Copies of this chain bind each other. A is one copy, B any other.
Amino acid sequence: MTHTRQSATAFAPGGVGNIGPGLDILGLALDGPGDTVQVEWTDTPGIRIRDPGHPDLPRNPARHTAGLAAQAVLDRAGDERCRKRGIDLTVRKGLPLSGGQGGSAASAVASAVAVNTLLGSPLNRFDLLGAALDAEEGVSGRHADNIAPALLGGIVLVRSLDPLDLVELPIPEELRVVLARPHQQLRTAEARRVLPARVSRATALHQAAQVGAMVAALASGDYALLGRAIDDRIAEPVRHGLLPGFREAKRAALDAGALGSSISGSGPTAFALVCGSDSGERVAAAMSAAYTACGHRSDVRVARIDREGARIVNGAEEDVL
């Protein structure tokens, strides 16, 4: 009989989805805060959420991405043990709720990785992605631009969801991302409602050209081109009205030397791409000041791309839970 783990804890990073023109198809993972999920066997069948990570998050596992992802992994693994035993989840949210930093995806991915580890790793990364994607779909729509970088790290292009086909893109050495989160909440579902069902052919071709240019810029390390390509004409024009202070913060970021700036995920966090940490600090200060001038407190930080993605954490970190 093989040794069976009693618990496992996984961390998944947050990041930026919908990078500029890459609505639903381009995302990246960032170092710093993320979500952590501890899972452990219990003697009661079923999945329970012991701590959802935030008072506003549901304890119902069918309504929390960590619970949904855990169930999706169990379903895919077909693990017999779960008929007699259950799994308890403890979620620690390092990412803001409805912040536009990929929090629901990070919880899903961390949960999927932790449960898979608990089961002895029956699923490969591809299956884990599918499980996390199903979980994200249950809460905020079927899109992988947060799920994929949260699991894999780096900057990921979602070429196709069905079949799932992901492209991990090169990361320029000096690329930094400034995140500025005004103290507002915006539900993903609300931000999706305002998206146009149809766009003009010209807009579609423009958007495609920008995504192509972004990928080319990442591959060649052409920071200026990367900035020029952050020109989203589908989501940003209809969403910025939902985000007081965003336009001012973006303007301030560009004036302070940002390569480009847009909405992170579906907001309210704004992001700016910069070359180098010093530039990042200047841009972060400028964005913060702009939000303040508009009457909004905000949290800002300068981050590097997380190249590792989700990982099992042990020892001290596990003890904290």
Contacts and interface: CB of A to CB of B under 8 A. Distances in A.
A203 B234 CA distance: 12
Contact of A207 (B195, B200, B208, B229): B208
Given A201-B197, A208-B204, A213 B170 contact: no
Interface string A213-229: 11111011000010011
B165 A228 contact: yes
Contacts of A165: 213, 228
A217 B216 CA distance: 10
A204 to B, nearest CB: 4
A23 interface: yes
Interface in A205-250: 205-217, 219-220, 225, 228-229, 234
B21 A208 contact: yes
A19 to B, nearest CB: 11
A212 B216 CA distance: 8
Interface in A16-30: 21-26
A81 to B, nearest CB: 38
Nearest to A233: B204
A160 B209 contact: yes
Contacts of A21: 208
A236 B158 CA distance: 22
B159 A234 contact: no
Report the contact-size class of chain A (Cβ under 8 Å from the partner): 35 or more
A170 to B, nearest CB: 7
A25 B195 contact: no
B219 A215 contact: yes
A199 B201 contact: yes
Contacts of A198: 198-201
Nearest to A170: B219
Interface in A150-204: 157-160, 165, 167, 169-170, 195-201, 203-204
Contact of A219 (B26, B159, B216): B216
A28 to B, nearest CB: 13
Nearest to A199: B204
Contacts of A199: 198-199, 201, 204
Interface of A: 21-26, 157-160, 165, 167, 169-170, 195-201, 203-217, 219-220, 225, 228-229, 234
Given A167-B212, A167-B213, 18 more contacts: A22-B212, A24-B205, A26-B212, A159-B212, A159-B225, A165-B213, A170-B219, A195-B201, A199-B199, A205-B207, A207-B208, A208-B208, A208-B212, A211-B211, A211-B212, A212-B215, A215-B216, A216-B219
